[in-house]
Amino acid sequence: MLFGQAAPCYKETMKKISYGDIVKATNWLSLVSKICSSRTASIYIGRFEFDTDLVAIKLFHLQENGARDSFVTECKVLRNTRHRNLVKAVTVCSTVDLENNEFKAIVFDFMANGSLDMWVHPKLHHTSPKRVLSLGQRLMDVALALDYMHNQLTPPLIHCDLKPGNVLLDYDMTARVGDFGSARFLSSVPGSPEDLVGVEGTIGYIAPEYCMGYKVSAGCDVYGFGVLLLEMLTGRRPTDAMFTDGLSLHKLVSSAFPGRLGEVLDPHLSHEQQLACDRVFMRRYMVHLVEVALLCSMESPKDRPGMGEVCARILSIKEAFFELC
């Protein structure tokens, strides 16, 4: 594998945990232990009595429509993948609670540095606005994960909900793609109903063809990656209130490319990246990254590159940047 190496897919003996273990690990599912919550699941931080490492425990709201399917999908993905840029599961719990209600949870390695969304939008998360984030390496991490999923797995795996909130950062600031509740393995049978999509994912990151009944394809993830990159470069969400009357994040950046990028790029990003390099080199570096973002977020899937090409482009940009600095 040219850009990323997945670890060998060998069977590991997963730790057996009970409902009681999870309750104790999360201080009886206390609000203090809850990291975040969505319609289908809540995530808690915890530590088991028999271990010293912190873990993230995803509890599924099985009473909600789609939650059970999300659990099954995530288990399938975790069972069939292994890569340094994918979030790793520690174990799975499928049992009943104290009232004999069905209970399902997945335990993950704890990602100590939160989500990429927290770093791109620190004020919204009430964290320090000062960001020390190696842009090129984090992008490379995500690109490698997608290249592995699209081009190195059989059948290919499509995430279907790529966004900054689903990219997590571990203790070493390595980016890992997570939350595979909407993911699909592409069928080897042409026209299979499993490849057909409804409108899933998150508004702003959904590829345009997604809403037109097109089949799931790698291009859906490429589009999400392009929007994610534009968001990192500008500090603006694709759902920002300014994007009305046909204006989108892609159109905003495209209209300023390449000569007026300074008007739309996140000023915090510029200061942070210029610490190591002359402005003229940084300008060239950013122009090439913006070009990748715009290509990936093209409206037509035919105009988007594959993730193999995206990895090659980002690697080339990184190498050129460090040679010039």
pLDDT in tens, 83-134: 999 999 999 999 999 999 999 999 999 999 999 999 999 877 766 544 455 7
Sign of CA dihedral 137, 8, 192, 309: positive
- The position carrying tokens 């990429």 is 116
| Residue predicted with more confidence, 263 or 197 | 263
Under the banding of pLDDT at 50, 70 and 90, the label for residue 193 is low
**DSSP characters over 150-181:** IIISSS-EE-S---GGGEEE-TT--EEE---T
**Which is the CATH superfamily of the domain at 19-109?**
Phosphorylase Kinase; domain 1 (3.30.200.20)
pLDDT at 2: 41
Domain ranges of the chain: 19-109, 116-324
Catalytic residue selected from 21, 109, 141, 161: 161
| Residue predicted with more confidence, 279 or 49 | 49
pLDDT at 255: 97
Mean pLDDT of 210-237: 92
* Cα 192 from Cα 107, distance rounded (Å): 32
* Cα 231 from Cα 313, distance rounded (Å): 19
pTM listed for this prediction: 0.89
Q: Is the peptide bond before 258 cis (omega within 30 degrees of 0)?
A: yes
Q: Which amino acid is at 70?
A: S
* Cα 14 from Cα 51, distance rounded (Å): 13
| Residue predicted with more confidence, 307 or 319 | 307
171 within 8 A of 153, measured Cβ to Cβ: no
pLDDT in tens, 133-191: 578 889 999 999 999 999 999 999 999 999 999 999 999 999 999 999 999 999 866 65
Q: Which has the closest alpha carbon to 4: 313, 312, 318?
A: 312
| Residue predicted with more confidence, 179 or 214 | 179
CB neighbours of 319 closer than 8 A, spacing ≥ 6?
none
Sign of CA dihedral 283, 288, 290, 291: positive
pLDDT at 9: 40
Q: Which has the closest alpha carbon to 282: 264, 311, 261?
A: 261
Residue 97 appears among annotated catalytic residues: no
pLDDT at 192: 60
The separation between CA 184 and the C-alpha centre of its own chain, rounded to angstroms, equals 15
Under the banding of pLDDT at 50, 70 and 90, the label for residue 294 is very high
**DSSP characters over 245-313:** TT--HHHHHHHHTTTTGGGTS-HHHHHHHGGGS-HHHHHHHHHHHHHHHHHHT-SSGGGSPPHHHHHHH
Q: Is the domain 116-324 a CATH 2.40.160.10 member? A: no
Under the banding of pLDDT at 50, 70 and 90, the label for residue 199 is low
225 within 8 A of 307, measured Cβ to Cβ: yes
For 64, what's the count of Cα atoms within 13 Å in the CB-facing half-sphere? 14
Strand partners, 93: 105
Under the banding of pLDDT at 50, 70 and 90, the label for residue 262 is confident
Q: Is 280 exposed, middle or buried (0-12, 13-18, 19+ CB in 10 A)?
A: exposed
pLDDT at 319: 84
Interior CA angle at 17 toward 16 and 23, to 5°? 175
Interior CA angle at 240 toward 237 and 243, to 5°? 120
Least confident of 8-12, 39-43, 58-62, 117-121: 8-12
